[in-house]
Amino acid sequence: MAAPKKSVAKESGQEKAGSPPEFTREQEFKALRDMLLIRRFEEKAGQLYGMGAIGGFCHLYIGQEAVVVGMQMALKPGDEVITGYRDHGHMLACDMDPKGVMAELTGRRGGYSRGKGGSMHMFSKEKNFFGGHGIVGAQVSLGTGLAFANRYRGNDAVSVTYFGDGAANQGQVYESFNMAELWKLPVIYVIENNRYAMGTSVSRASAQQDFSKRGASFNIPGMQVDGMDVRAVKAAGDEAAAWCRAGKGPMILEMQTYRYRGHSMSDPAKYRTREEVEKVRHDQDPIEQVRNRLLEQKVTEQELKAIDAEVREIVNAAADFAQHDPEPDPSELYTDIYR
């Protein structure tokens, strides 16, 4: 039975009251599986990075899984997704092939960008995933452009534009907010507030720390969402998508979340204590929350283990493919520069 939901659309900055609507058993299983896939994939990516199989930058999504999984459950086919460089979770949530993603991380020809993009630059036209962008904040204008195209074509698709608490301080974010509200563009701005922009905490970087209010001067409604509870994320996503599809313009969702790992693989993590990380993991882990609810509903450990085993198999197959697929042919150096 869904708990009555208070609309917060007009109350910028209001925290959602009450507990989120319950998931069906089927939804809980889906959320668990999709979040586990991201977690295991990222753990494996971290491992491959440690082995030297993945180069350059590698930003892991561990801890934030409920955000993309919950949002994806609120979307319809045709909706677009775009994000920054912490993008592996978004791609898996968009149903992109883990093999193709992992092979891009290792720079192989079977990668989504044929090895030419890397961790931060992957796209899938088929799955409506528009990247994967390495310049902090650039995806916000681009995502607004996806929404512009939807309005131009007169369809009812929504652009889900993800960015972090760090990107939220970039100028072009506000240029985009202005035009999105001015033209009533169907874009959901999902601010993933994981509390640290690289090594700088929100309190040291942001004059307005309530990110749901960041659209206030443009009259864009916003809400703060418990980004560790996949049900709360989906409920907020449903509301925002309905708002956009009704032609009311953009909405901001501040997802209060947490990244367990460093900013990138080479992060010494001196800016926070281990106790802080451990406390979030222990008290709020998005995956444990679902597991515990399922166990309360008399689902057996056996059933849960089966999901874990299935996910592990997918991730191991992806890792195997990504290490054995050949590197791109040298001729790839000069392809895809012009059409």
Partner 1 sequence: MPIQVLMPALSPTMEKGNLSKWLKKEGETIKSGDVIAEIETDKATMEVEATDEGTLGKILVPEGTADVAVNTPIATILADGESAADLDKAPAAPAKAEAAPAKAEAPAPKPEAKSDAHAPAAPAAVAPPDPEIPAGTEMVTQTIREALRDAMAEEMRRDPDVFIMGEEVAEYQGAYKITQGLLQEFGERRVIDTPITEHGFAGIGVGAAMTGLKPIVEFMTFNFAMQAIDQIINSAAKTLYMSGGQMGCSIVFRGPNGAAARVGAQHSQDYAAWYSQVPGLKVVAPYSAADYKGLLKAAIRDPNPVIFLENEMLYGHTGEVPKLDDFVVPIGKARVARSGKDVTIISWSMGMSYALKAADELAKEGIEAEVIDLRTIRPMDTETIIASVKKTGRAVTVEEGWQQSGVGAEVASRIMEHAFDYLDAPVARVSGKDVPMPYAANLEKLALPSVAEVVAAAKAVSYR
Interaction residues for partner 1, span 137-176 (CB under 8 A): 138, 140-146, 148-149, 152, 171-172, 175-176
Site for partner 1 in 203-222 (CB under 8 A): none
CB of 121 to partner 1, least distance (A): 4
Interface characters, 296-325, with partner 1 (x: CB under 8 A): ---------------------------xx-
Site for partner 1 in 252-281 (CB under 8 A): 260, 262, 265-270, 274, 281
Figure out which of the listed residues 5, 27, 53, 271 binds partner 1, where binding follows CB under 8 A.
53
Figure out which of the listed residues 70, 115, 215, 249 binds partner 1, where binding follows CB under 8 A.
115
* 330 binding partner 1? (CB under 8 A): yes
CB closer to partner 1, 49 vs 258: 49
Figure out which of the listed residues 99, 108, 195, 231 binds partner 1, where binding follows CB under 8 A.
108
Nearest of 179, 120, 190 to residue 144 by alpha carbon: 179
Piece of the chain touching partner 1 by CB under 8 A; list 22-30, 52-60, 71-79, 222-230: 52-60
Report d(CA 295, CA 33) in Å as an integer.
15
183 burial via Cβ count (<10 Å: 0-12, 13-18, 19+): middle
* 201 binding partner 1? (CB under 8 A): no
CB closer to partner 1, 114 vs 231: 114
* 335 binding partner 1? (CB under 8 A): yes
Q: Are 118 and 69 in contact (CB under 8 A)?
A: no
Q: Where are the beta strands (DSSP E) in the chain?
A: 14-15, 80-83, 129-132, 159-164, 187-193, 196-197, 200-201, 222-226, 251-256
Q: Are 250 and 147 in contact (CB under 8 A)?
A: yes
CB closer to partner 1, 239 vs 285: 285
Q: Is the dihedral of CA 23, 24, 27, 32 positive or negative?
A: positive
CB closer to partner 1, 131 vs 237: 131
Nearest of 265, 311, 264, 326 to residue 111 by alpha carbon: 326
CB closer to partner 1, 8 vs 102: 102
* 179 binding partner 1? (CB under 8 A): yes
Site for partner 1 in 81-100 (CB under 8 A): 82
CB of 274 to partner 1, least distance (A): 8
Secondary structure of 125-170 in HEC code, one letter for each residue: CCCCEEEECCCCCHHHHHHHHHHHHHHHHCCCCCEEEEEECCHHHC
CB of 179 to partner 1, least distance (A): 6
Report d(CA 63, CA 269) in Å as an integer.
15
Cβ atoms < 10 Å from Cβ of 47: 12
Dihedrals phi, psi of 261, to nearest 5 degrees: -90, 175
* 192 binding partner 1? (CB under 8 A): no
The DSSP code for 81 is E
CB of 125 to partner 1, least distance (A): 5
Q: Are 159 and 82 in contact (CB under 8 A)?
A: yes
CB of 326 to partner 1, least distance (A): 3
CB of 330 to partner 1, least distance (A): 4
